Every structure is written in C-alpha cells, then in structure tokens.
Amino acid sequence: MELENECRRLQHSLEAAQIRNFIDEQRPAARSTEIDDNPKSSLQPDISLQSENSSKKKSKQKQVPAEEPKKSKGIPESSVNLKAVKELFSGV
C-alpha cells in the first residue's frame, strides 16, 4: 500500500514536471525575461532541467542528417488527357 502511494506521488510529480517543461518550451522568451529576486526559489530547479533538456535536444538535432528534398516527378505526360485539360481551361 505504501509503495502504491509513493508510485502515485512520483507519477504526479513527473506529470507536473512534464507540464512545466512543456509550458517553458512554448514560451521561452517569457521565462528568460523574468527577474528572480530569490535565487533559491522553486523556479530554479525547473530552469536547470529545461537547460538540460534543450541541450539534449540540440545534440540530437545535430546527429540527424539533413534530408534532401524529394523532387516530384509529377504526372507522366502519357497519363494526361490533353483534350480534357484544354476543355477545362478553355473558359479561363
């Protein structure tokens, strides 16, 4: 029973941290302009977690090779009904 309660508490803490990180990612400029009068405030651990997460994301982005844009071959001319196309655009 005690383990179940501890598990629930940890799950709630994890969810809360994920929500805070998501919000921080959505508005990073707002977080960086805040003035923290109390350096030991509850916001301090969140900021350090965010910097760790952003550095991990940057390192992952560097490892992913850039994909070249795929050139569309379009519709082969043999499958285009030119007569139907001319009729379609004749009124334009």
Answer whether residue 86 is part of any domain: no
Answer whether residue 21 is part of any domain: yes
Answer whether residue 28 is part of any domain: yes
Answer whether residue 18 is part of any domain: yes
- pLDDT of 50: 59
∠ CA(40), CA(23), CA(35), 5° rounding?
35
Number of domains in the chain: 1
- pLDDT of 29: 61
- pLDDT of 12: 93
Range of the domain at 26: 1-35+42-57
Q: Phi and psi for 22 in degrees, rounded to 5?
A: -60, -45
Answer whether residue 9 is part of any domain: yes
Answer whether residue 8 is part of any domain: yes
pTM above 0.75, yes or no: no
d(CA 73, CA 90): 26
- pLDDT of 1: 86
Residues of the chain below pLDDT 70: 28-80, 91-92
